[in-house]
Amino acid sequence: MTTSPLNCNELVELVTAYLDGTLELDERARFDMHLLECDGCENYLQQFRATIATVGKIGADELDPEFRHRLIDAFRNWR
């Protein structure tokens, strides 16, 4: 079990797993502890949540088909 503090770069790498609820308990605890100590990462998390909420309101049928394909291509090999 890793007990070292999480740094900002590690938090960015884990943010989607955090929001999906798929982090192991020890990683989630490290994530939460970092948020308590880092206003910048707390802001980042809130911005990420706002982005998800905003994009989630857009239906696939509302996107221009060409733009939709460009988005899919851009994220196909992401990560």
Boundaries of every domain in the chain? 8-76
Give the 3-state secondary structure of residue 5. coil
Q: How far apart are CA 55 and CA 66, in angstroms?
A: 17
More confident of the two residues 2 and 23: 23
**What is the value of pTM for the model shown?**
0.71
Q: Which option is the CATH number for 8-76: 3.30.1360, 3.40.50, 1.10.10, 1.10.287?
A: 1.10.10
39-79 per-position pLDDT tens digit: 999 999 999 999 888 877 777 677 788 887 887 777 777 65
